[in-house]
A and B are shown apart, each in its own frame.
Chain A
Amino acid sequence: MSATSPSQSIVDLHRPGAVSDVFAGEAPMAPPTPPSFARQRTAIGLPEVSEVDVVRHFTRLSQESHGVDNGPYPLGSCTMKYNPKRNDELARLSGFANAHPMQDADTLRGVWEVYERLQAMVSEVTGMDACCLAPAAGAHGELAGLLVIRKHFAQLGTPRSVVLVPDSAHGTNPASAAMAGFECRIVPSDLKGRVDMLSLREMLMSDVAAFMLTNPSTLGLFEDQIVEIADAAHANGSLLYYDGANLNALMGIVRPGDMGFDVVHVNVHKTFSTPHGGGGPGAGPVAVKAALAPYLPSPVVIRKNGVAQPDGDRPLSIGRMKSFHGHVGVLLRAYGYLRTMGARGLREASENAVLNANYLQHQLAHMLPPVYNQFCKHETLLSGERLNTSARQFAKRLIDYGIHPPTLVGAGCVYFPGDLKSAMLIEPTETETKASLDYQVEIFQRVFDEDATDEALVESAPLSRKIARLDIED
């Protein structure tokens, strides 16, 4: 235990005058006369803490956090795979870290060079014709893609107001659709966890701008009717939107563009291994088929006379999604990943993601049977019906063994349709070794046995942490 007690906050560490002066050696300079609304009466209330105390405080807080660097993180649909260290170093290179976004475009050649190369690689992996890297996150890419779709129909002179999403969709899908000014309608799943084709055909009416689909779905299943779905949507004049959240299952095997999708966003942390940072920053490149390219947000980088540069002639663009050029520091990491993996490495990563998920599904089946009894893709939905306690309690006990719980109803970024309250979505990811998977199986077995023999123990979990189970209802 460190000298500072675990409950102490940075504010409690305040000792007036504990910090030394910054720039103390510099000649003092009188600030201009403050205007009438100068900060005179009230202090800000920032604590003064010595440097060593700051370091110890935040080091301790880091130790009370769990990341991929600490151990398994099989959080379904969130794809918490290894984040390569070399890529962090790229983002710290002075040529990028110290470049100002308002510099003239011709002093940022390196930024455009990376952008142009990365745009091409994202387009190739997704099977699309054009790409914009500006969106700040997957959901931001969704918003961009939906605004592109909106603009497309407006330009055709036939505005459409409805977006269809499956009942199993990520919550971001309907939320982004609402932000883009669309009305959302929900397409039910069939008994096999796929899109219910009959319902979809009925719902494809003349006001439907797009159908948003994740494939593999958030249930870990490949939509094997994808060709029929694409044909039905296109026959209705609607577009097909690909939520790239699960693209890490398909790299080099099948491309959204070849499945009939018109717009795609990519979550770089899931697909191209950028760190999630405890919630962000991410990046959400959006890629489209050629007919939609004029509407992409700015900046789009082109190569002209051999030199990469932002395309200044985009009169039909939906405009700007955020200030400046996008998350350069995150996109550099994605570039590093793609250049390290190459075509063969990417394909192998997807094969491993699917292999690992099926291996876990198989090894856990006698305890937690798969809800849909078939091969899964990169994640598997398991049933907790055989548990004495709840899936939530089972998951909390995993914490005591250093394994992050899988995605549960109400604790993760997905929504399970129908009556799947006891389900858990588990995604080992492609960077867990067989030894790590076997360890996870062993721990699941141990907790499963505890659940059968010592319900009280499991219900009191977690026991190994600074705090016991939290009641978040208040």
Chain B
Amino acid sequence: MNQRQNDSVTERTPVGFNVHTGLDVQAMLEAMGLHSVEQLFADIPAQVRLRRALSLPSALSEWELMRDVRAIADMNATVLTHSSFLGCGAYEHYIPAVVDAMVSRGEFLTAYTPYQPEMSQGLLQVLFEFQVLVGRLLGQECVNCSVYDGATALAESCWMMCSASGKRRVVVTQAVWQQYREVLDTYLLPRGLQLVYVGQDLQTGMANTAAIADLVMAGDVAGVVLQSPNALGVIEDVQAVVQVCQSNNALLAVCVNPLLCGWLEAPGTLGADIVVCEGQPLGLPLSAGGPYVGIIACAKPLERYLPGRLVGRVHDLNGKLGYALVKEDREQHVARDRATSHICSNQALNAIRVAIYLACLGERNFMRIAQMNAAKAAQLRESLTALVGVKLLRSGTHFNEFAVELPMDAAMFCTRMRDLGFFAGVPIDKALVGHERGLLIAVTETKSLADLQVYVKHACACLQES
């Protein structure tokens, strides 16, 4: 029934990554008293069998594959072909070579979830160290071993607040990135959660604390979601919202850029119940959007609502310390439809990246890089807003991202800048600022002062064209 039956079985050579020669197949069949592999598929009803070969492109050798994909890769522009000031949830940071070297080790790369702890102590220890380092960074006691990305982490945190409180309403600030808000809708609306949006202060760009207070005081609110820095690049006053929440029996989840915690106090330390973040800035390549790593950290009382895996310290039969997955009764393979989430594969390898990145930098460098980000962004912000017609969009405190109002359409400005070799920024959703002249600009440690000066020079030229 397939072309190979015409071949002499013993002359068969394996295709691609297949391993058996014809002689192997023959020997295995003989051991079982069979005469063809086909006998093993006899239980598949004839009427549904595929009676042709799959229609796929022909197989490529390794060098042909490399040539094919290199050509496709060259169809993309990158942050190396253009000087990039893009942010909005993904940031260009320098990654120490050690990070790639360590995560490329086959023992990490090709392992499965560590269900057999005695065989996976190293992997478990790295994941435990990830939990410890990230917990310190975010100022929180409990950290899970990652979810898919920042957006799904935020959605999971809303479900955590609802599960813990038994309530079904969550207050969300409007200045959460649009992509994240879309994920909240996809994840939460089918489960019957109600998302109530509150606006920003038009002057500062910070969440309207009075409006949040009104909503939580009315009761029936499980919790509040805040993003800091928000979609306008403005740092939120976490402490003020903590007070509003605590005095009204509502929980608070803060979505933070983890690098900010090298400069400002961590949201967990300030009293947020849940801190979530996209871990991409902590040693993950941009990769056109993924895979990244979603991190959820919370206070001890909320631990049992955490989705996904937790690594804990346990003892072996001789009382020696070891590591294992713990509290698995919350997980899908045990709790099934009553599980805290359906997570089966998470982002373990990227969590390993984060642990190695933080270990490479250490306290002093991490703080230094965070300060460099803040300083360089401030430098560009000041130079740009000195240009005629360019205004700072909101007056709040910025970290490595800020919003300006241009005297022209932001998308058109970006197109002009692109022709000069720049990714100038991300145009801001009109719904957030009321016009299409808003631009969100991110600056990281990868930009030198000279790079910033060139940006300003070209921006000036592009604006004058209008």
Counting CB contacts under 8 A, is B339 at the interface? yes
Known: A227-B47, A404-B116. A348 touches B239 (CB 8 A): no
**Contacting B76 at CB < 8 Å: which of A17, A96, A142, A395?**
A96
Answer whether residue B31 sits at the interface, using C-beta atoms and an 8 A cutoff.
yes
B368 within 8 A of A: yes
Name the interface residues of B16-44: CB closer than 8 Å to any CB of A: 16-20, 24-25, 27-29, 31-32, 37, 39-44
In the complex, A349 Cα to B294 Cα: how many Å? 34
A101 CB within 8 Å of chain B = yes
**Which listed residue (A91, A340, A374) contacts B62, Cβ 8 A?**
A340
Interface string of A356-381 (1 = CB under 8 A from B): 10110011000000000011000000
Q: Does A313 contact B (CB under 8 A)?
A: no
- Which stretch, B207-215, B353-361, B429-437, touches the partner chain A? B353-361
List B contacts of A205 (CB < 8 A). none
A342 to B61, alpha carbons, bound, how many Å?
Answer: 11
Query: When A11-B132, A472-B117 are in contact, do A101 and B288 touch as well, CB less than 8 Å?
Result: yes
Q: Which residues of B contact A59 (CB under 8 A)?
A: 102, 105
The answer to whether A27 touches B109, judged by C-beta atoms less than 8 angstroms apart, is no
Given contact pairs A90-B69, A345-B16, A324 touches B84 in the complex (Cβ within 8 A): no
Chain A neighbourhood of B137, CB < 8 A: 44, 46
B15, B20, B48, B55: the one contacting A341 at CB < 8 Å is B15
Question: B260: nearest residue on chain A (CB-CB)?
Answer: A39
Contact, CB under 8 Å: B116 / A411: yes
| A225 to chain B: closest residue by CB | B45
Which residues from chain A contact B128 at a C-beta distance below 8 Å? Answer: 9
Residue of A nearest to B397 (CB): A35
B346 and A175 contact, CB distance less than 8 A: no
Given contacts A323-B151, A472-B324, contact A63 B107 (CB under 8 A): yes
Complex: chain B residue closest to A230, CB-CB: B48
Q: Are A48 and B65 in contact, CB atoms less than 8 angstroms apart?
A: no
CB of A442 within 8 A of chain B? no
Q: How far, in whole Å, are A422 and B125 apart by their CA atoms in the complex?
A: 30
Render B275-306 as a binary contact track against A, CB cut-off 8 A, 1 for contact: 00010000001111111110000000000000
Q: Chain B's nearest CB lies how many Å from the CB of A335?
A: 7
Q: Tell me which of B315, B369, B379 has the highest count of chain A C-beta atoms within 10 A of its own C-beta.
A: B315
Q: What CA separation (Å) do A462 and B57 show in the bound complex?
A: 47
Q: Do A31 and B374 form a contact, CB below 8 Å, given A69-B109, A346-B54?
A: yes
In the complex, are the beta carbons of A470 and B191 less than 8 A apart? no
Chain B residues closer than 8 Å to A336, beta-carbon distance: 65, 69
Of the stretches A81-89, A285-293, A447-455, the one at the interface is: A81-89
Contact with B along A48-71 (1 / 0, CB 8 A): 110100110111111111111110
B416 to A: closest C-beta gap in Å: 13
Is residue B5 within 8 Å, beta carbon to beta carbon, of the partner chain?
A: no
CB A91 to nearest CB in B, in angstroms, measures 7
Q: A100 contacts B90, CB within 8 Å?
A: yes
Task: Tell which of B40, B337, B361 touches A178, judged by Cβ atoms closer than 8 Å.
Answer: B337
Do the beta carbons of A21 and B365 come within 8 Å of each other? yes
Does A466 interact with chain B (Cβ within 8 Å)?
Answer: yes
Chain B neighbourhood of A412, CB < 8 A: 115, 333
Is A93's beta carbon under 8 Å from chain B? Answer: yes
Q: Considering only CB atoms, which chain B residue lies closest to A41 in the complex? A: B265
When distances are taken between beta carbons in the complex, the residues of chain A under 8 Å from B17 are 82, 84, 273, 337, 340-341, 345, 349, 431
B245 CB–A CB distance under 8 Å: no
Contact of A22 among B42, B88, B348, B361 (CB under 8 A): B361
Closest to B446 in A: A23
**Do A136 and B148 touch (CB < 8 A)?**
yes
Given A38-B265, A175-B342, A348-B18, A51 contacting B360 (CB threshold 8 A) = yes
Q: Any chain A CB within 8 A of the CB of B218?
A: no
**Given the complex, which residues of A lie within 8 Å of B108, measured CB to CB?**
62, 65, 67, 277-278
**Docked-complex contact B49 and A95, CB < 8 angstroms:** no
Q: Does B227 contact A (CB under 8 A)?
A: no
Separation of A308 and B88 alpha carbons in the complex (Å)? 25
Q: Is A80 a contact partner of B183 (Cβ separation < 8 A)? A: no
- Quick check: B356 and A54 within 8 Å, CB to CB? yes
One of A195-203, A232-240, A252-260, A383-391 at the interface = A252-260
Known A-B contacts A100-B79, A349-B18; A139 and B343 likewise in contact (beta carbons under 8 Å): yes
**Interface stretch (choices B165-173, B174-182, B383-391, B458-466):** B174-182
Interface string of A179-196 (1 = CB under 8 A from B): 111001000000000000
Q: How far does the Cβ of A96 sit from chain B's closest Cβ, in whole Å? A: 6
B112 in contact with A73 (CB, 8 Å):
yes
Tell whether, in the assembled complex, residue A67 and residue B362 are in contact, meaning their CB atoms are under 8 Å apart.
no
Give the complex CA separation of A181 and B159 in angstroms.
12
Sample of 15 more A-B contacts, CB < 8 Å, known A48-B364, A340-B17: A26-B448, A34-B263, A38-B265, A39-B367, A45-B363, A98-B286, A101-B89, A102-B88, A139-B332, A320-B182, A322-B183, A323-B278, A348-B16, A355-B20, A363-B31
Counting from the closest, the 3 A-B pairs by CB-CB distance are A95-B73, A324-B289, A342-B59
**What would 25 A/B residue contacts be, using CB atoms closer than 8 Å?**
A22-B96, A22-B361, A22-B365, A38-B263, A45-B136, A54-B360, A65-B120, A86-B65, A90-B69, A97-B286, A102-B87, A121-B56, A124-B54, A136-B148, A137-B346, A147-B186, A184-B336, A259-B48, A279-B114, A279-B348, A339-B59, A343-B53, A345-B59, A355-B25, A358-B40
